[in-house]
Chains A and B, each alone.
Chain A
Amino acid sequence: MPLVNNKVGDDCTVGPEKALVDGKAQVDSLIKVVACHRHLASCVGGCTDSLQLRDELRRTREKALTLAGSICHHLTSHLRNKSLPEGQRKEMELLWVAFSSSLELLHVDLCKVFNISDIFSLANTVALVQTGLQGGGSEVAARALSLPDLNLAPNPTLPAGLESQERSTMEQEISHMDHMIEDMEMKVNVMRWMVEPHGPHGPQGAEALSSSDSASLAMFSVDEEQPGPPPPCQRSRISVLLLLVAVVLVAATLSVCIIFFT
């Protein structure tokens, strides 16, 4: 979804309906970016941690912060507008709750990444924990940044000053977020517990997203539980079967040839 740049004091030109739709789109986008950032953050310190991952994290973080800044402006200006109709206000408040929750999650993740990258420096790759992951997180980062794929040429050598520079940038960003959250609380008074969410999101939760994928995933995780005779040997079994079939075919053709020529 393309970023909509809402300048401050724009609400006279933009209709309230559009503002709501825009706000919703932005908040959805922020939620997506926060989810991807969390996914990437859980790889820090593990064996897939690399300059590329840190770079992706940085880009996701920057995108999240820009989005957050713009949503903050947008929602603050609309919620301080006294002339907003009641229905619109309720919707805005919902968006506000979603926005502040995402911001909290993002803040926690930023602090965690800051802490872990402090301890697990990339200069010492032997010390990274073998978590069992193998692939990188480029696809997740691409999803976060809404790009079809990431073309990155990672820097093979680690410049000495880069890590400390990153750290100071992260510190600044975290403090910036702190300020933003504080400002939000000061300027807009939304009583979170009064907000009513949409729809029949009862304890049944949302509908299953894709059952086929889930079934195969469940099967794979169940297989993990009993790796007695290891299932990955299925691949070798398949190759053995193919070999047998090929041998049988060759034998059949040979016998046919023999019969033909005698």
Chain B
Amino acid sequence: MTIRNPLRDHGQRYRPRIACLKKLQRHTVGEDIITWLVDRFQMDTQEARSFGSMLVALGYIYPLQDHKRLVIKPDASLYRFQTPYFWPTQQWPVEDTDYAIYLAKRNIRKKGILELHEQEHYNRLHKWMNHKWDFIVMQAKEQYRAAKERKKPDRVVFDCQERAYWVVHRPPPGTVSAMDYGLDRLIDPNADEAKTPDFYARIMIFTQQSIMRPRVKSSVSIGALVKYCATYNSHDPFLSKCLPSNPWLTDDVTYWTLNMPYVEIPTKMRVERWTFSFAELLSDPRGRNDFRLFLKKEFSGENLAFWEGCEDLKWGEAATMREKAEHIYKTFLARGAPRWINIDGKTMEITVKGLKHPHRYVLDAAQTHIYMLMKKDSYGRYQKSPVFKETVKKAICPEEHHFTDAQLEQNSKKRRPSLSPIILRQMEQEQRAKMAANVDITQVMSKLSKQGKEAPPPPCPPPKK
């Protein structure tokens, strides 16, 4: 309500630029609206512009030129206020019958004037409202004749009003619609609920669960939050600088190319993040590759391979789940498997029992065990290993960009769409194929090493003379 009041007051102020305009219908100019908003609500120009655009998008004001673009332009473009009958405030339903009548009216006035999307709507409405079509055409004719009773300038205003109303509520393709708000909720969360026995039962369950919930001291939880913030502060692109430059601000994509998932040489910041926690290391594909390399050197690559297999099972397609589970069992868990992993007896028992009826989470226990093993054991050694030290040494720290305004403009002109997700997925699959090819070597190596450890050392052949 408060927004409508100022609009009504403002309607009185307009500056006739040229004497001839006095004879025309009353308009306001985009600049004037924005200046008035800045004065009235004490906001800055940018905010006034977005607020003005919101008003236009909702249909309170409509542009006279370029009527399909529902934005406010801070120049001499003309706008007019919409009549309250067409305001969206009371949320009166926008009926298809009215739209059909409007389209029929336009068709009557001049055949072939309907645009493509309007023509499609018209055909669809004709199909669904065929029983009313006589009425619709008659009503359209009558409305047209009623409008003809008016003088020509008023008639034009009426047409503009109605057209603006329908641009807001049936937007042509390419117009950003302000009326999209998603699905209607079944229940209004602000409405008072009826106090039925079901309602009280729900409240009781909620309270019981709240009591049973495990608690943590606030010092502990806040301490964890503080630690997280302190660690990640320098890595957050909002809170600290983004090297070399934030692509969203400067339109320069160096940052993204340097931080591609499988880049050869990672950045220093990225490598630093791997030291924060094991989860960070594993979640970064480049970090995982590095870790895999380290494990290969240590001949304990099967742990990571098993973990990855379990992830694949958890998040993969349901169709191939059974085969995947069996494959994992044969490769990692069965007795005498080529890449046998070392888990304790109890977990093995649970897993093998579960594998009789495999589902997504059947290997969860084993996966957690292996994850903890890697975290406690291999992760520490990895951070002290030559592999990691090498990576840290090679990591680059890019220089910060200092763009001038002219360069920024040039950058924005050179904007291009990034790699399509299809290509990214193909790259990922290639990587996986490469790794699958590499596995055979590691398998053989680890098998040999195990055989070497178990069998007694072969007797050295007596030197032949």
Contacts and interface: CB of A to CB of B under 8 A. Distances in A.
Interface of A: 28, 31-32, 34-36, 38-39, 41-47, 94, 97-98, 101-102, 104-105, 108, 111-112, 115-116, 119-120, 126-135, 137, 139-140, 142-144, 192-199, 201-209, 211, 213-218, 220-221, 224-227, 230, 232-233, 235-236
A35 B147 CA distance: 9
Given A102-B139, A196-B131, A134 B154 contact: yes
26 contacts: A32-B142, A43-B83, A47-B11, A98-B138, A116-B85, A126-B12, A131-B83, A133-B25, A134-B153, A135-B154, A139-B149, A140-B146, A192-B131, A193-B131, A201-B137, A202-B126, A205-B122, A208-B109, A209-B108, A209-B145, A213-B148, A217-B159, A220-B156, A221-B159, A221-B160, A227-B65
Contacts of B27: 132
B65 A226 contact: yes
A68 B151 CA distance: 30
B20 A233 contact: yes
B371 interface: no
B85 A225 contact: no
Nearest to B66: A225
B85 A41 contact: yes
Report the contact-size class of chain B (Cβ under 8 Å from the partner).
35 or more
A196 B133 CA distance: 9
Contacts of B451: none
Given A133-B25, A205-B104, A197 B130 contact: yes
B78 A227 contact: yes
Contacts of B24: 227, 230, 232
B150 A201 contact: no
Interface in B131-187: 131-161
Contact of A236 (B8, B20, B67, B109): B20
Contacts of A205: 104, 107-108, 111, 122, 137
Which of the listed residues A115, A126, A135 has the most CB atoms from chain B within 10 Å of its own CB?
Answer: A135
Given A36-B146, A195-B131, 18 more contacts: A32-B146, A35-B139, A35-B143, A35-B146, A94-B134, A104-B97, A129-B84, A132-B25, A139-B150, A199-B134, A203-B126, A206-B108, A206-B141, A211-B110, A217-B152, A217-B156, A224-B160, A232-B21
B26 A132 contact: yes
B86 interface: yes
Contacts of B142: 31-32, 34-36
B199 to A, nearest CB: 32
Nearest to B110: A214
B329 interface: no
B64 interface: yes
B40 to A, nearest CB: 15
A129 B4 CA distance: 9
Given A31-B135, A227-B78, A120 B111 contact: no
Contacts of A31: 135, 138-139, 142
Contacts, number: 217
Which of the listed residues B90, B108, B149, B158 has the most CB atoms from chain A within 10 Å of its own CB?
Answer: B149
Interface of B: 4-5, 7-9, 11-12, 14, 18, 20-21, 23-27, 64-67, 78, 80-86, 90, 92, 95, 97-98, 104, 107-111, 113, 119, 122-123, 126, 130-161
A42 B83 contact: yes
Contact of A130 (B81, B98, B111, B148): B81
A227 B64 contact: yes
A221 B156 contact: yes
B129 to A, nearest CB: 9
A28 B135 CA distance: 9
Nearest to A227: B78
4 tightest A-B CB contacts, nearest first: A45-B84, A130-B11, A35-B142, A139-B149
Contact of B149 (A98, A127, A143): A143
Contact of A101 (B11, B25, B135, B144): B135
B131 A129 contact: no
Contacts of B95: 108
A256 to B, nearest CB: 37
A192 B132 CA distance: 8
Nearest to A115: B90
Contacts of A193: 131
B77 to A, nearest CB: 10
Contacts of A45: 83-85
Which of the listed residues B83, B145, B160 has the most CB atoms from chain A within 10 Å of its own CB?
Answer: B83
A218 B123 CA distance: 24
Contacts of B137: 201, 205-206
Nearest to B125: A203
Nearest to B148: A213
A42 B122 CA distance: 24
Contacts of A101: 97, 132, 135-136, 139
B152 A46 contact: no
B155 A203 contact: no
Contact of B139 (A43, A105, A203): A105
A207 B112 CA distance: 11
A226 B157 CA distance: 15
B144 A209 contact: yes
B101 to A, nearest CB: 9
Contacts of B18: 230, 233
